[in-house]
Chains A and B, each alone.
Chain A
Amino acid sequence: MEFDAKIPAGPLTDKWDRHRFELKLVNPANKRKFDIIVVGTGLAGASASASLAELGYHVKTFCIQDSPRRAHSIAAQGGINAAKNYTNEGDSIWRLFYDTVKGGDFRAREANVYRLAQLSNHIIDHCVAQGIPFARDYGGLLANRSFGGSQVSRTFYARGQTGQQLLLGAYSALMRQIGAGSVELFPRREMLDLVIVNGQARGIVVRNLISGALESHAADAVVLSSGGYGNVYYLSTNAESSNVGAIFRAYRRGAMFANPCFTQIHPTCIPHTGDHQSKLTLMSESLRNDGRVWVPRQPGDIREPQDIPEEDRDYYLEQKYPSFGNLVPRDVASRAAKAQCDAGKGVGLTRCAVYLDFADAISRDGKDIIAKKYGNLFDMYELITDDSPYQKPMMIYPASHYTMGGLWVDYNLMSTIPGLFVLGEANFSDHGANRLGASALMQGLADGYFIIPYTIGGYFAGTALSMVSAEHAAFKGAVREAAESSAKLMSIRGKRTVDSFARELGQIMWNYCGMSRNEAGLKKAIQLIKDLRAEFWENVLVPGTDKEYNKSLEKAGRQADSLEFAELMILDALERTESCGGHFREESQTAEGEAKRDDENFSHVSVWKYEGYGKQPEFHKEPLVFENVVLSQRSYK
Chain B
Amino acid sequence: MKKLAKTINVTLKVWRQRGAEDKGRFDTIAAKNISVHMSFIEMLDTVNEQLTLDGKDPIAFDNDCREGICGTCGAVVDGQAHGPQKATTLCQLHMRKFSDGDTIVVEPFRARAFKVVKDLVVDRSVFDKIIQAGGYISVNTGGAPDGNAIPVSQEIAEKAMDAAACIGCGACVAACPSASAMLFVSGKISQLALLPQGKPEAAMRALSMVRVMDSCGFGNCSNHRECENACPKSLSIVNIARLNREYFKASFFSDEI
Nearest chain B residue, comparing its CB with the CB of A275: B35
By a CB distance below 8 angstroms, the chain B residues around A176 are: 132, 136, 138
Q: CB-CB < 8 A to A178: which residues of B?
A: 128, 132
Which of B49, B65, B197 has the most chain A CB atoms closer than 10 A to its own CB? B65
A172 touches B125 (CB 8 A): no
Is chain B's interface secondary structure helix, strand, loop, or mixed overall? loop
**Of A71, A86, A128, A497, which contacts B49 at CB under 8 A?**
A497
Q: Which residues of A sit under 8 angstroms from B157, Cβ to Cβ?
A: 133-136, 140
Binary B-proximity of A144-161 (CB < 8 A = 1, otherwise 0): 000000000000101101
Q: A133 with B133: in contact, given A176-B138, A551-B58 (CB under 8 Å)?
A: no
Please tell me if the beta carbons of A241 and B64 are within 8 angstroms of each other in the complex: yes
Per-residue B-contact encoding for A4-19, CB less than 8 Å = 1, 0 else: 0000000000000000
B147 pairs with A69, CB closer than 8 A: no
Beta-carbon contact of A179 and B52 below 8 Å: no
Point out the residues of chain A lying under 8 angstroms from B94, CB to CB: 383-384, 386
Whether a CB of chain A sits under 8 angstroms from the CB of B161 is yes
Please tell me the size bucket of the interface on A: 35 or more
How near does chain A come to B82, taking the closest CB pair, in angstroms?
A: 12
Inside 8 A of B173's CB, which chain A residues have their CB? none
Known contacts A66-B125, A134-B157; decide if A239 and B52 are in contact (CB<8 Å).
no
Instruction: Say if the beta carbon of B131 comes within 8 Å of chain A.
Output: yes
Chain B interface extent, by class: 35 or more
A to B contact number (C-beta, < 8 Å) = 220
User: Given A141-B148, A386-B94, A386-B96: A131 and B64 within 8 A (CB)?
Assistant: no
Tell me, yes or no, whether B257 is within 8 Å of chain A by CB.
no
Inter-chain contact B137/A172, CB cutoff 8 Å = yes
Contact A159 B161 (CB under 8 A): yes
Task: Let me know if A131 and B161 touch, CB within 8 A.
Answer: no
Of all chain B residues, the one with the shortest Cβ separation from A383 is B92
The answer to whether A380 and B46 touch across the interface, beta carbons within 8 angstroms, is no
A453/B148 in contact, CB under 8 A: no
Which residues of chain A from 82 to 141 have a CB within 8 Å of any chain B CB? 84, 86, 122, 124-141
**CB atoms of B148 and A142 under 8 A apart:** yes
Residues of B within 8 Å of A70, CB to CB, are 64-65, 70-72, 168
Q: Is the CB of B191 within 8 A of A552?
A: no
Q: Complex Cα distance A138/B42, Å?
A: 43
Question: Of A65, A134, A237, which contacts B70 at CB under 8 A?
Answer: A65
Complexed CA–CA distance, A179 and B204 (Å): 14
Kindly provide the distance from the CB of B160 to the nearest chain A CB, expressed in whole angstroms. Answer: 4
Q: Does A165 contact B (CB under 8 A)?
A: yes
Give the residue of A187, A349, A549 whose beta carbon is less than 8 angstroms from that of B4: A349
Do the beta carbons of A168 and B147 come within 8 Å of each other?
no
Q: A70-B71, A551-B58 given as contacts; is B141 within 8 A of A126 (CB)?
A: yes
A465 CB within 8 Å of chain B? no
Stretch at the interface among A277-285, A313-321, A526-534, A557-565: A277-285
**Complex Cα gap A176–B134 (Å):** 7
Best-buried of B85, B125, B131, B146 by chain A (most CB within 10 Å) = B131
Chain A residues positioned under 8 Å from B46 (CB to CB): 276
Q: How distant is the Cα of A15 from the Cα of B64 in the complex, in angstroms?
A: 40
Segment touching A, from B101-109, B115-123, B219-227, B242-250: B115-123
Name the one of B128, B142, B154 contacting A140, with C-beta atoms under 8 angstroms.
B154
Q: Are B55 and A543 within 8 A (Cβ)?
A: yes
| B65:A75 contact, CB within 8 angstroms | yes
| Interface contact B125-A75, CB-CB below 8 Å | no
The answer to whether residues A384 and B92 also contact, given A142-B148, A281-B66 and a CB cut-off of 8 A, is yes
Q: Is there an interface contact between B67 and A281, defined as CB atoms closer than 8 Å?
A: yes
- Asked whether B52 lies within 8 Å of A240 as measured between CB atoms, the reply is no
Tell me whether A130 and B136 are in contact (CB under 8 A). Answer: yes
Query: Do residues B136 and A173 form an inter-chain contact, with CB atoms below 8 A?
Result: yes
CA distance A380 to B56 in the complex (A): 35
Q: Which residues of B contact A584 (CB under 8 A)?
A: none
Q: Which residues of B contact A543 (CB under 8 A)?
A: 52, 55-58
A131 contacts which of B41, B55, B158, B192 (Cβ < 8 Å)?
B192
Contact B141 A449, beta carbon cutoff 8 Å: yes
- Would you call B152 an interface residue if the criterion is a C-beta within 8 Å of the partner chain's C-beta atoms? yes
Residues of chain B lying within 8 A (CB to CB) of residue A552: 52, 58
What is the CA–CA distance of A124 and B138 in the complex, to the nearest angstrom? 16
Q: How far is the CB of A373 from chain B (nearest CB, A)?
A: 13
B66 & A274 in contact (Cβ 8 Å cutoff): no
> How far is A125 from B124 in the complex, measured between Cα atoms in Å?
32
B124 — which chain A residues lie within 8 A by C-beta? 66-67
Q: Which of B1, B72, B146 contacts A66 (CB 8 A)?
A: B72
The reply to whether the CB of B198 lies closer than 8 angstroms to some CB of chain A is: yes
From B117, B140, B148, B164, A54 is in contact (CB under 8 Å) with B140
Residues of B within 8 A of A71 (CB): 70
Query: What chain A residues lie within 8 Å of B147 (beta carbons)?
Result: 84, 124-125, 127-128, 134, 142, 156
Interface residues as binary, B141-168 with A (CB distance below 8 Å gives 1, 0 otherwise): 1111111101111100110110011011
- At the interface, yes or no: B45 with Cβ under 8 Å from chain A? yes
List A contacts of B216 (CB < 8 A). Answer: none
B83 on the A face (CB < 8 A): no
Known contacts A178-B132, A278-B42, A386-B96, A349 near B1 by CB under 8 Å? yes
**In the bound complex, CA of A122 to CA of B144 (Å):** 8
- Is A259 an interface residue, CB under 8 A from the partner? no
- Contact of B69 with A by CB under 8 A: yes
Closest chain B CB from A551 CB (angstroms): 7
A450 cross-chain contacts in B, Cβ below 8 A: 141
Output the nearest chain A residue to B139 by Cβ-Cβ distance: A129
How near does chain A come to B233, taking the closest CB pair, in angstroms? Answer: 9
CB distance from B257 to the nearest CB of A (A): 17
Q: Would B139 and A72 count as touching, CB distance under 8 A?
A: no
Does A246 touch B at the CB level, under 8 Å?
no
Contact of B164 among A86, A135, A168, A277 (CB under 8 A): A168
A470 contacts partner chain B, Cβ-Cβ < 8 Å? no
State the CA gap A383–B232 with chains docked (Å).
Answer: 12
Decide: A278 and B144 in contact? CB cutoff 8 A.
Answer: no
CA distance A164 to B85 in the complex (A): 23
Whether A133 contacts B161 by the Cβ 8 Å rule is yes
Tell whether A51 is near chain B: CB-to-CB under 8 Å. Answer: yes
The chain B residue sitting closest to A50, CB to CB, is B141
- CA distance in complex: A86, B147 (Å): 10
Task: Give 6 A-B pairs besides A164-B167, A276-B38 with Cβ atoms closer than 8 angstroms.
Answer: A72-B65, A72-B70, A84-B148, A131-B198, A240-B64, A274-B37
Listed by A's residue number, 21 A-B pairs whose Cβ atoms lie within 8 Å are A65-B72, A67-B127, A71-B70, A74-B65, A75-B69, A126-B142, A129-B143, A129-B144, A131-B192, A133-B164, A140-B157, A142-B148, A176-B132, A278-B39, A282-B67, A349-B4, A384-B94, A543-B56, A544-B57, A548-B118, A549-B118
